[in-house]
């Protein structure tokens, strides 16, 4: 639980795939909220948290099963508004004296239309301008009798209790998911809910910045902090924020593993050392990384080698700072939400992600994580608030292992040089066509294959490369970007003409899943 002076809304998570979207909708309304898994929410937790309102998320369980997830009964005695969504509605009805039935023949998935009851309630203010509202349903069980004190305020063909409420107690319960995109007016429902709960929307970035600075000063005192700077948005925003709070008590360590893009190292050093005047250690460790990777073509071994060396190098340079007791990290909110796992089993490792987890214990450091409460787009907003240039804030994500995972097979310096040049031309093309901000991530991968070509009157035998560009909201799923044929043709011509060593260009049109964004 985070200490904050803002009014807080508590989201009790019952394991829905879209619980984070509820938090998004609320943050957009400048309401501070936290998601906590139902197992952690005890009566004691509630009295410490002091929510001004509570939302029960959806979830995959059935309230009819033994040991199904429940909130503590005390939540209904807090005297604050509660909104139950889908499973949240069913659990509310079940605990307050209504009836839920198994969904044989009445399960409903996908688009549905809700029509209003005679009496319109404030929760639905702005709804039903078109007489019926599109909503998104995803439920097996359904409520068959509402709890005493509740009345029905909206119905859909398969959900006679689509919208229910006990107005005296300000308990609301809906069968559909107002947080998803396919409930087009869902944001209004959240807006109405937080308004009637009395939130005044004081969660602004300006306020957040002030509060974060105060908290960093309190936590750190006059101790020294080191921060691993990658040049990515998260670590950059964290560094600038912490620097604003504690000045030169912060030293940043930027590890150049030789797998960066063209001009990247200079850009980071210029920005942070010269522009922000931050103490910055530029660890040029290209030789170390590249020689360790020589001859290695297995993707997992490559990732693990880079991860291991990164930690060693970081540790070596960080200890030069002397006497640091904190490590700053750009951890975001989606990384810290404890997700509710019903399967209980470990998920399969698709790729070993590069991170410095374990480092704080090894070095005896405490963590400073000033972005722990923020989503990615909020970090960007904070970056703007802190005056970071738009070109930095809008940057596409770049993976920790860098170009290594865009160079399938063995990595050589020659291939890395070619890749850097091709990538620079490709990104330049994207920028020239004004497409950079529409794309989540774009890059070139150099393929471990040479192909025959003809240039001028001569034969060439050079590398093939693949262009990758995807749209995504969170990197978890992605689709390829639909460039025009003209764009692709022009880009291929430029790369082949301008980059010696490449004589064939392909475009990767794989979505994720089944592909991944990176090639390794």
Q: What are the catalytic residues?
A: 86, 177, 179
179: CB partners within 8 A, 6+ apart? 18, 21, 22, 24, 25, 85, 186, 190
Which range of residues in 12-20, 313-321, 395-403, 480-488 is near ligand XMP by CB under 6 A? 395-403
Nearer to ligand XMP, 70 or 395 (CB): 395
Decide: 1 and 37 in contact? Cβ < 8 Å. no
Does 516 engage in binding with ligand XMP (CB under 6 A)? yes
Kindly state whether residue 334 participates in binding ligand XMP, applying the rule CB under 6 A: no
By DSSP bridging, strand 159-166 and strand 171-174 are antiparallel
Residue range at the interface with ligand XMP (CB under 6 A); choices 50-58, 274-282, 394-402, 410-418: 394-402
Q: What gap in Å lies between CA 382 and CA 398, rounded to an integer? A: 20
Which phi and psi angles does 469 have, rounded to 5°?
A: -150, 125
- Could you say whether residue 351 binds ligand XMP (CB under 6 A)? yes
Can you tell me which of 397, 437, 473, 489 binds ligand XMP, judged by CB under 6 A?
Answer: 397
Cβ proximity of 100 and 141 under 8 Å: yes
Helix or strand run (H / E) with residue 497: helix 485-498
Among the listed ranges 134-142, 265-273, 399-407, 424-432, the one in contact with ligand XMP (CB under 6 A) is 399-407
| Minimum CB–partner distance for residue 480 and ligand XMP (Å) | 13
In degrees and rounded to multiples of 5, residue 48 shows phi and psi of -75, -40
Region near ligand XMP per CB under 6 A, out of 49-57, 201-209, 346-354, 410-418:
346-354
518 binds ligand XMP (CB under 6 A): yes
| Cα 128–Cα 134–Cα 137 angle in degrees, nearest 5 | 130
DSSP symbol at 512: B
Closer residue to ligand XMP in complex, CB, 120/353:
353
Q: What stretch of H or E contains 214? A: helix 205-220
Burial of 130 by CB count in 10 Å (0-12 exposed, 13-18 middle, 19+ buried)?
A: exposed
Residue closer to ligand XMP, measured from CB, 157 or 397: 397
| Pick 455 or 473: Cβ nearer ligand XMP | 473
Please state the φ and ψ torsions of residue 461, each to the nearest 5 degrees. Answer: -140, 85
Q: Which is nearer to ligand XMP, 36 or 512 (CB)?
A: 512
Residue with smaller CB distance to ligand XMP, 134 or 516: 516
Q: How far, in Å, CA of 230 to CA of 255, rounded? A: 7
399 binds ligand XMP (CB under 6 A): yes
- Closest separation in Å from C-beta 354 to ligand XMP: 3
Q: Which of 178, 299, 400, 408 binds ligand XMP (CB under 6 A)?
A: 400
277 neighbors 368 (Cβ within 8 angstroms): no
Is 7 one of the binding residues for ligand XMP (CB under 6 A)?
A: no
We find the least distance from the C-beta atom of residue 332 to ligand XMP, in angstroms, to be: 12
* Residues sharing a CB contact under 8 Å with residue 73, sequence separation 6 or more, in sequence order: 95
Interface of this chain with ligand XMP, residues 495 to 514, rule: CB under 6 A: 512
SS3 184: coil
Using alpha carbons, select from 169, 191, 177 the residue that is nearest to residue 124. 191
Q: Is 261 in the site for ligand XMP (CB under 6 A)?
A: no
Considering the rule CB under 6 A, would residue 441 count as an interface residue with ligand XMP?
yes
If the CB atoms of residues 353 and 459 are measured against ligand XMP, the closer one turns out to be 353
Q: Does 325 bind ligand XMP (CB under 6 A)?
A: no
Closest distance between ligand XMP and the C-beta of residue 59, in Å?
26
Is residue 308 part of the contact set for ligand XMP (CB under 6 A)?
Answer: no
Pick from 353, 362, 413, 432 the residue near ligand XMP by CB under 6 A: 353
Q: Does 517 bind ligand XMP (CB under 6 A)?
A: yes
Alpha carbon distance 90, 99 (integer Å): 8
CA within 13 Å, CB half, 88: 31
Q: Is 30 exposed, middle or buried (0-12, 13-18, 19+ CB in 10 A)?
A: middle
Question: Binders of ligand XMP: how many residues, by CB under 6 A?
Answer: 13
Tokens of 395: 């940057």
d(CA 462, CA 453): 8
Nearest-approach distance from CB 505 to ligand XMP, in angstroms: 21
Taking the least distance from each CB to ligand XMP, the nearer of 216 and 442 is 442
Report the nearest approach of ligand XMP to the CB of residue 514 (Å).
11
Q: Kindly state the smallest distance separating residue 519's Cβ from ligand XMP, in Å.
A: 8
Alpha helices, DSSP H, located in 58-164? 87-96
Type and span of the H or E element at 317: helix 299-321
Judged by CB under 6 A, the residue of 140, 149, 475, 501 near ligand XMP is: 475
471 binds ligand XMP (CB under 6 A): no
Q: What are phi and psi of 478, to 5 degrees?
A: -155, 155
Interface contacts to ligand XMP, rule CB under 6 A: 351, 353-354, 397, 399-401, 441, 475, 512, 516-518
């Amino acid at each position: 639980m985070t200490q904050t002076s803002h009014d807080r809304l508590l989201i009790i998570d019952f394991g829905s795939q879209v619980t984070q979207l509820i938090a998004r909708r609320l943050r957009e309304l400048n309401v501070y909220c936290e998601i906590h898994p139902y197992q952690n929410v005890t009566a004691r937790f509630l009295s410490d948290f002091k929510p001004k309102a509570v939302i029960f998320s959806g979830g995959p369980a059935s309230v009819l099963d033994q040991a199904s997830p429940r909130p503590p009964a005390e939540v209904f005695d807090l005297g604050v508004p509660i909104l139950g969504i889908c499973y949240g509605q069913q659990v509310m009805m079940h605990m307050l004296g209504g009836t839920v039935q198994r969904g044989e023949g009445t399960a409903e998935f996908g688009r549905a239309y809700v029509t209003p009851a005679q009496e319109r309630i404030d929760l639905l203010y702005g709804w039903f301008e078109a007489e019926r509202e599109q909503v998104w349903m995803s439920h097996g069980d359904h409520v068959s009798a509402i709890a005493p004190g509740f009345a029905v305020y909206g119905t859909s063909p398969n959900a006679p209790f689509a919208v229910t409420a006990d107005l005296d107690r300000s308990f609301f319960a809906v069968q559909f998911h107002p947080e998803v995109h396919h409930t087009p007016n869902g944001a209004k429902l959240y807006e109405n809910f937080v308004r009637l709960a009395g939130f005044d929307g004081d969660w602004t970035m300006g306020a957040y910045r002030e509060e974060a600075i105060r908290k960093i000063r309190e936590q750190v005192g006059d101790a020294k902090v080191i921060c691993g700077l990658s040049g990515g948005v998260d670590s950059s925003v964290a560094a600038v924020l912490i620097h604003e709070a504690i000045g030169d008590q912060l030293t940043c360590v930027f590890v150049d593993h030789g797998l960066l893009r063209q001009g990247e190292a200079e850009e980071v050093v210029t920005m942070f050392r010269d522009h922000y005047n931050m103490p910055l250690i530029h660890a040029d460790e290209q030789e170390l990384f590249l020689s360790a990777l020589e001859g290695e073509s297995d993707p997992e071994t490559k990732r693990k080698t880079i991860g291991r060396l990164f930690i060693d190098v970081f540790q070596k340079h960080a200890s030069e700072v002397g006497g640091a007791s904190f490590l700053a990290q750009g951890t975001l909110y989606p990384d810290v939400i404890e997700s509710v796992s019903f399967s209980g089993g470990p998920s399969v490792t698709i790729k070993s992600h590069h991170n410095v987890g374990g480092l704080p214990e090894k070095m005896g450091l405490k963590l400073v994580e000033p972005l722990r409460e923020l989503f990615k787009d909020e970090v960007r907003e904070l970056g703007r608030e802190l005056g970071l240039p738009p070109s930095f804030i809008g940057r596409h994500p770049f993976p920790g292992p860098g170009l290594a995972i865009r160079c399938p097979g063995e990595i050589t310096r020659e291939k890395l040089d070619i890749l850097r040049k091709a990538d620079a031309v490709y990104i330049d093309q994207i920028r020239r066509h004004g497409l950079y901000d529409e794309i989540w991530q774009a890059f070139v991968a150099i393929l471990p294959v040479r192909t025959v070509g003809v240039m001028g009157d001569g034969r060439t035998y050079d590398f093939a490369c693949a262009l990758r560009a995807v749209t995504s909201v969170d990197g978890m799923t992605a689709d390829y970007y639909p460039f025009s044929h003209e764009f692709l043709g022009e880009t291929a011509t430029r790369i082949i003409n301008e980059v010696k060593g490449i004589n064939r260009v392909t475009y990767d049109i794989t979505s994720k899943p089944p592909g991944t964004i990176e090639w390794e």
